[in-house]
Chains A and B, each alone.
Chain A
Amino acid sequence: MKLTFHIWRQKDAKSPGQMVRYESDNFNEDMSMLEALDVLNEELMNRGELPVAFEHDCREGICGSCGFMINGVAHGPVPATTVCQLTLRHFQDGEELYLEPWRARAFPILKDLVVDRNAFDRVIQAGGYISVSTGSAPDGNAIPIRKENADRAMDYASCIACGACVAACPNASAALFTGAKISHLRQLPQGEPERHERALRMVAQVNAEMFGNCTNIGECAAVCPKEIPLEVIAQMNRDFLAASWAARKQPYQDPAEEKRWQQYDSAHR
């Protein structure tokens, strides 16, 4: 099977990048997209060229490491599938494919197809958890939870933090990612005590990371490899608004955030 790749090559965060064309007919349709890149990289190295850097680890669709745009679509054309499980049988012999890294202000490019997604970790740090220290838990069956709620919590908790939602969003919003965690924890009685504080803090952190705002476009849910539904954003907004009212608090504001935006504005003016 022959494929032509156009791949974004960028030496490091500071260097300018460009699309580079590669052609090979050493592919076959049972390969995954990442295995195709392995094959390409072996060829490049044997020719004395530098291999394409791309992120990957488990290669079974669960670790969330991999991901890039294929012809403008995050994780490529097959729904509910990460690039590590996307086999080449979904492409035509001789097809041209354009591979680009996630593009978002909050995800700076480190090299080629590799981006820095640590902003997601910092969003979780801002309350994306239930505060229970080791040793202080009651018996697992002490609090019955409706099966429906547990199942729904599981749906939301299955997010793998790959970043496709941000990459697909024209605003580079992290609403689906953040909404998924907030919705997971708010389904469960254990998550209730911190529900308001969590929504206020996580949303503030999202803004501080310079993710864009959500304008209900829905691209995020369309490309999500774990099919996180759009409703998580509504649940997040609901908690955020309720928290703002109930707590009679101003939405939490990070003083550093304003400064960062000012810097960004002056740098890009």
Chain B
Amino acid sequence: MKLESKIPSGPIEQKWDKARFEYKLVNPANKRKFNVIVVGTGLAGGSAAATLGELGYNVKCFCFQDSPRRAHSIAAQGGINAAKNYQNDGDSIYRLFYDTVKGGDFRAREANVYRLASISVNIIDQCVAQGVPFAREYGGLLSNRSFGGAQVSRTFYARGQTGQQLLLGAYQALERQIDAGRVKMFPRTEMLDLIVIDGKARGIVTRDLVTGAIQTHLADAVILGTGGYGNVYYLSTNAKGSNCTAIWRAHKRGAAFGNPCFTQIHPTCIPVSGDYQSKLTLMSESLRNDGRVWVPKVKGDTRPPRQIPEDERDYYLERKYPSFGNLVPRDVASRNSKAVCDEGRGVGPSGLAVYLDFTDAIKRMGEQTIRERYGNLFDMYQRITDENPYEVPMRIYPAIHYTMGGLWVDYNLMSTIPGLFVIGEANFSDHGANRLGASALMQGLSDGYFVIPYSLGNYLASEKLGKVEETAPEVKEALAGITGITNKLLSVRGRRTVDSFHRELGKIMWDECGMSRNAAGLTQAIDRLRALKDEYWQNVNVPGSAGELNQALEKAGRVADFFELGELMCIDALQREESCGGHFREEYQTPEGEAQRDDEKFSHVAAWEYAGAGRSPVLHKEPLNFEYVKPSQRSYK
């Protein structure tokens, strides 16, 4: 396997123009002759399918949900960044680029990040034109807010439902293409394998989640916009259905997996309340704009928060990071929460929580202003916890939220399998070791609306793609393989449910490959994961049959993949003997306890090649060069 990043030459601000100029074009009359498969209908997949339909390609689009509008992008709350500089506060494309490279702790590709920053402005225009009801000022112009880790106000938002509104914009654009007959939609259909013929991605195997029918779909190119793999931890802010199956099975067909251990832990989630808990609920990071984070100064202080006097509180983020205060990036905020809880200063019944206090903000601006800004979030908090955050401080704790790792792609968003493109959270490309707030929506839409339509055309125009038939041996092999896995899962008839395995898997990952990691823990985790996986295939209980709507069977296939991906994450985390961004190795920290990078040895993307069942994966390295933003120790002090 050879990693070719295909970054265009020339100054960074001209690379994307140059690439677009050099891309071969598909004649408009020929576009309808190409069949393209898009899997996933979130911001990346939905916007890609819609745009490719508009251009005239024949698109087949797949999602496991009952409607493309339910993809998990819908749950994003805070906002979307764009370097519009509408606020005249010194923002620019270069600054957004710089902040993103630095925020990613110098583990992202400069060229990709610059392209992302420059496209950001077009995204806002496109979404406004679609009717996305962004927040506005009284003058009728768009409103902005600042967001974690940024010192300018560049975040556009639609109350606390920005992801929902952007997704509905993309969904409506997609429905328009479905109506026009350019896109054929397959809801409740899950991709289970990738079909590779003559080394190129030529189709997928799917299961109809209502009838259970296993089918193949052939095409000239396959685009995966299937999201992240945070659910490997069982408890995360991801939707229950979010899974790694599409990317993992593509990985097993030859797509390299980039930086699997880079996961983001979001600092502001509602704490876990019991063993039955099925997911964690995020409270938007925007709350940190006005809320102050604190814990009691002394250990074991169980007084109610209002009875703890000001001078017995430790506003630890403000104390340790005076210039960024409560707005430090997510990885820093999360790690500090864990640290104070590990010291025994955590609050709430479990001791695994810190306070996020709005008392000062309410005093300064009035309850009405706070209600306007965060009303829906406060209501949600109260619904879940039965506590009123206008009166008592919120309790928050970090939770798994996003995975920066994903399938390795080149500058054109193509994986190591020609014809397989990967967009949005499913790829590894733009966020390095830590994603800044409000950048996920930006990346998903950038990839889908503005990058893939060009780079896909170039691939189709450059390659000689012969016709493939359903009778090809590769198609039959893939089909038989999936039928085999399905039958195997159903035939075990063991004694433990899929969820009980998933919980145990998640606990191992959270304890050993979560907010902080060390060599001993990771090594042990790998053994435990292997043993648990063996038990899974001997003792899992998947009731029902293959030919029906069977939610336990759907889960069983996904969890089987999570075991394998979890192991690769631990292997990757073990190999990366440095701390960077969300990857914190306890052995590698500064005297103050901050992440200690090792640029000499680890300024690269770790891209893993699948070597077959039971064999160790093969590591390939893509060196990262920083010509514009010189790597420095991140400091938010």
Report A's interface with B, CB cutoff 8 A: 11-12, 28, 30-32, 34-35, 38-39, 42, 45-46, 48-51, 53, 55-65, 78, 80-81, 85, 87, 89, 110-111, 114, 116-118, 120-121, 124-141, 143-147, 150-151, 153-154, 157-158, 160-161, 184-185, 187-188, 190-191
Report B's interface with A, CB cutoff 8 A: 47, 50-51, 54, 65-70, 72, 74-75, 84, 86, 122, 124-131, 133-142, 156, 158-159, 161, 164-165, 168, 171-173, 175-176, 178-179, 185, 187, 210, 239-241, 273-274, 276-279, 281-282, 379-380, 383-384, 386, 449-450, 453, 495, 497, 499-500, 541, 543-544, 548-549, 551-552
Bound CA–CA A110/B209 (angstroms): 11
Q: Is A145 touching B72 in the complex (CB atoms < 8 A)?
A: no
Q: Is A161 touching B172 in the complex (CB atoms < 8 A)?
A: no
Q: Is A144 touching B179 in the complex (CB atoms < 8 A)?
A: no
- If over half of A's interface residues share one DSSP class (helix, strand or loop), that class is named, otherwise mixed; here it is loop
Q: Is A140 touching B84 in the complex (CB atoms < 8 A)?
A: yes
Q: Is B70 touching A65 in the complex (CB atoms < 8 A)?
A: yes
A35-B278, A147-B137, A154-B165 known; 9 new pairs, CB 8 Å cut-off, are: A42-B500, A53-B551, A57-B70, A65-B66, A65-B70, A125-B179, A147-B138, A150-B135, A154-B135
Residues of A close to B281: CB separation below 8 A: 59-60
Q: Is B66 touching A150 in the complex (CB atoms < 8 A)?
A: no
> If A50-B544, A147-B140 touch, does A157 touch B133 (CB 8 Å cutoff)?
yes
Q: Is A118 touching B450 in the complex (CB atoms < 8 A)?
A: no
Bound CA–CA A147/B497 (angstroms): 51
> If A59-B239, A137-B125, A153-B131 touch, does A125 touch B178 (CB 8 Å cutoff)?
yes
Tell me the smallest distance from the CB of A57 to a CB of chain B, in Å: 4
Q: Is B126 touching A134 in the complex (CB atoms < 8 A)?
A: yes
Residues of B close to A11: CB separation below 8 A: 548
> If A114-B549, A118-B187 touch, does A144 touch B497 (CB 8 Å cutoff)?
no
Residues of B close to A150: CB separation below 8 A: 133-136, 140
* Shortest Cβ distance from B274 into A: residue: A30
| In the A-B complex, the 4 residue pairs with the closest CB atoms | A144-B140, A129-B172, A137-B129, A154-B133
Instruction: Among B84, B131, B178, B380, find the residue whose CB has the most chain A CB atoms closer than 10 A.
Output: B131
Q: Is B176 touching A134 in the complex (CB atoms < 8 A)?
A: no
Bound CA–CA A154/B143 (angstroms): 14
Bound CA–CA A81/B386 (angstroms): 14
> If A57-B241, A59-B240, A59-B279 touch, does A134 touch B54 (CB 8 Å cutoff)?
yes
Q: Is A51 touching B384 in the complex (CB atoms < 8 A)?
A: no
Tell me the smallest distance from the CB of B354 to a CB of chain A, in Å: 20
Bound CA–CA A154/B165 (angstroms): 9
* Shortest Cβ distance from A132 into B: residue: B129
Residues of B close to A129: CB separation below 8 A: 130-131, 172-173, 175-176
Tell me the smallest distance from the CB of B442 to a CB of chain A, in Å: 14
Q: Is A118 touching B140 in the complex (CB atoms < 8 A)?
A: no
Tell me the smallest distance from the CB of B507 to a CB of chain A, in Å: 17
Q: Is A58 touching B72 in the complex (CB atoms < 8 A)?
A: yes
The contact of A62 among B84, B164, B453, B497, by CB within 8 Å, is B164
Q: Is A134 touching B51 in the complex (CB atoms < 8 A)?
A: yes
Q: Is A38 touching B499 in the complex (CB atoms < 8 A)?
A: yes
Bound CA–CA A62/B166 (angstroms): 13
* Shortest Cβ distance from A48 into B: residue: B543
Q: Is A62 touching B161 in the complex (CB atoms < 8 A)?
A: yes
* Shortest Cβ distance from B500 into A: residue: A42
Bound CA–CA A248/B125 (angstroms): 35
The contact of A61 among B69, B131, B380, B497, by CB within 8 Å, is B380
Residues of A close to B173: CB separation below 8 A: 129, 132, 134
Q: Is B386 touching A89 in the complex (CB atoms < 8 A)?
A: yes
Instruction: Among B141, B172, B453, B544, find the residue whose CB has the most chain A CB atoms closer than 10 A.
Output: B172
Q: Is A158 touching B176 in the complex (CB atoms < 8 A)?
A: no
Q: Is B125 touching A42 in the complex (CB atoms < 8 A)?
A: no
Q: Is B69 touching A87 in the complex (CB atoms < 8 A)?
A: no
- The 18 sampled A-B contact pairs (Cβ below 8 Å) are A12-B548, A51-B543, A56-B240, A57-B72, A57-B240, A60-B279, A63-B74, A63-B75, A118-B67, A132-B126, A133-B51, A141-B142, A151-B136, A157-B131, A158-B164, A188-B131, A190-B131, A191-B131
